[in-house]
Structure formats: structure tokens, C-alpha cells
């Protein structure tokens, strides 16, 4: 079995799609989930999927940074595009009070709208959160029994925060942040108690290059996922093959 990278920012100019997929396949990464963050990426995601249907799937959503750009007509567009093959989740959506690139009241409204759409469409949610955990959890809570699952994307929080997400029935997305023994100390602690059936691996490429991977590169890529898997295997005291199988099957389970 190969690896499944459950989070790739393919619309970044640093991510040439053909080369990225070729390098991923050469490294044993056979499946990639492309994250959309703005309505202007939705059609491109569909186009990429049509080019590489065996390797790709994708999300449809509005990142909190871009919440200020969301318009009512975008929600109808999302409803229509979500019917296309390859669409596996609504997001990346959530709250980001670290940068505040969009007003917080707008972030809250756009997040709630996407949660309602995920319920309507029976799709999992693809969640982003930074410096807004308590508010994010409060907005999620009323949807708890209605959501078709979801993932806490690029989780870097505490064991307590992880437990709260698990109580909502979410998967936990682990990135190369876990490879940084200093900054990732809290995540490593959380990972050690994360149930295997809720573990999903992702790179968040081109961001979050694994700090302990040599030689160091400027940008992260899906081809780096096996290195993250090795670190996870060490922390979980599992074999690399077990982590590979567990994370691949969990991603398939989440994304259908």
C-alpha cells in the first residue's frame, strides 16, 4: 500500500502540478487531497482532478483569511460544484484569529455557512483553526450530531484540544510539525495518545517542511510524507508499514 497525503496546497505557485505528482509517485505517495481556500481556486481544482483522477481528490471551501471575499453567490456555486466527482470535503474553513486577515465576525459567519453546507451536502468538513480554539469549538458544537465527519487539518494543539476534536468525531491531521522536537512538543504529546483509527497524515505542502529532514529544502512537497510517517511511527511505537496502512485507510474512510 502507498501513502495518502491528505493536505496539499497545489494552487501555490511553488507547486507545479505535474512535477509534484511525479515526485510524489516516485516516493510512494499515490493519493493527494488538494485543499481549496478561495472560490477562485475551485475550477482549477476540478480541472486538476480531471487531469489526474487516479491520484487526486479535492475540497471546496473558503479559508478564514479569505472570508471577506465570500459572497452569497459563492454558496450556490459550491453546491453545484460539490456534485462533481472528486469533491470529498467542504473547506478549508474555520477561524484564524492570529492573522485576522478577515474581520472576526465575518470569519464566524462564513465558517457557520460552510458547516451548514457540509451538513446539507453530507460532506465532511476540512477544518482550519489558529488562536481561536474555544470559539471554533463553540461554533462546531451545534453541528456535532449532523456532520458527516471531518478533519482537524494541520493540528498543532494540546492533548486537551485533540480530545475535544475527537469527541466531535473528527480525524486529526498530522503534518511535519511533529518532526520539530522543540516547537512540536505539545503535538508529540497529543500524538502519543491519539487513537490509531483517527490518525491521518498530510504535508500541508509547500508549507511546514519537516525540520529534521536532510538535506533541507526550501519548500515542502507530498514526496516528504514518508519521512513524516517515519517520525509518527517512532512516536506511536508502530512500524512504518502500520502507519502507512492506518493513515491511508483512515483517509479513504474520511473522504469516501
The yes-or-no verdict on residue 181 having pLDDT over 90 is no
**Residue pLDDT, tens place only, 187-240:** 999 999 999 999 999 999 999 999 999 888 889 999 999 999 999 999 999 999
Contacts 24+ apart (CB under 8 A), 13-20: 14/206, 14/219, 15/205, 15/206, 15/219, 15/221, 17/48, 17/51, 17/52, 20/205, 20/221, 20/222
Average pLDDT over residues 180-191: 93
What does pLDDT average to over the chain?
Answer: 97
How far apart are the C-alpha atoms of 150 and 123, rounded to whole Å? 8
**Residue pLDDT, tens place only, 24-80:** 999 999 999 999 999 999 999 999 999 999 999 999 999 999 999 999 999 999 999
What pLDDT is recorded for position 216?
A: 86
The yes-or-no verdict on residue 172 having pLDDT over 90 is yes
Sort 25 into a burial class: Cβ within 10 Å, 0-12 / 13-18 / 19+: middle
Residue written as grid cell 511525479:
22
**Residue pLDDT, tens place only, 118-154:** 999 999 999 999 999 999 999 999 999 999 999 999 9
Q: How far apart are the first and last CA of the chain?
A: 17
Return phi, psi of residue 50, to 5°.
-65, -30
Amino acid at each position: 500500500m502507498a501513502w495518502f497525503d491528505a493536505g496539499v496546497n497545489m494552487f501555490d505557485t511553488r507547486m507545479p502540478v505535474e512535477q509534484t505528482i511525479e515526485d510524489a509517485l516516485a516516493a510512494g505517495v499515490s493519493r493527494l487531497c488538494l485543499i481549496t481556500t478561495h472560490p477562485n481556486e475551485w475550477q482549477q481544482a476540478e480541472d486538476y482532478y480531471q487531469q489526474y483522477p487516479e491520484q487526486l481528490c479535492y475540497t471546496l471551501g473558503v479559508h478564514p483569511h479569505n472570508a471577506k471575499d465570500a459572497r452569497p453567490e459563492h454558496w450556490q456555486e459550491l453546491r453545484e460544484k460539490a456534485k462533481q466527482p472528486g469533491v470529498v470535503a467542504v473547506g478549508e474553513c474555520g477561524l484564524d484569529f492570529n492573522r485576522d486577515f478577515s474581520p472576526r465576525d465575518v470569519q464566524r459567519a462564513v465558517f457557520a455557512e460552510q458547516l451548514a453546507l457540509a451538513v446539507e451536502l453530507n460532506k465532511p468538513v476540512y477544518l482550519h483553526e489558529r488562536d481561536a480554539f474555544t470559539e471554533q469549538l463553540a461554533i462546531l458544537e451545534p453541528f456535532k450530531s449532523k456532520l458527516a465527519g471531518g478533519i482537524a487539518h494541520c493540528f498543532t494543539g494540546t492533548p486537551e484540544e485533540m480530545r475535544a476534536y475527537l469527541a466531535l468525531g473528527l480525524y486529526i491531521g498530522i503534518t511535519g510539525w511533529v518532526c520539530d522536537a522543540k516547537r512540536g512538543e505539545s503535538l508529540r504529546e497529543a500524538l502519543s495518545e491519539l487513537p490509531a483509527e483517527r490518525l491521518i497524515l498530510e504535508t500541508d505542502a509547500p508549507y511546514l517542511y519537516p525540520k529534521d529532514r536532510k538535506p533541507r529544502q526550501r519548500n515542502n512537497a507530498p514526496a516528504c510524507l514518508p519521512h513524516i510517517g517515519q517520525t509518527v511511527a517512532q512516536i506511536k511505537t508502530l512500524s512504518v508499514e502500520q502507519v502507512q496502512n492506518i493513515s491511508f485507510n483512515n483517509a479513504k474512510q474520511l473522504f469516501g
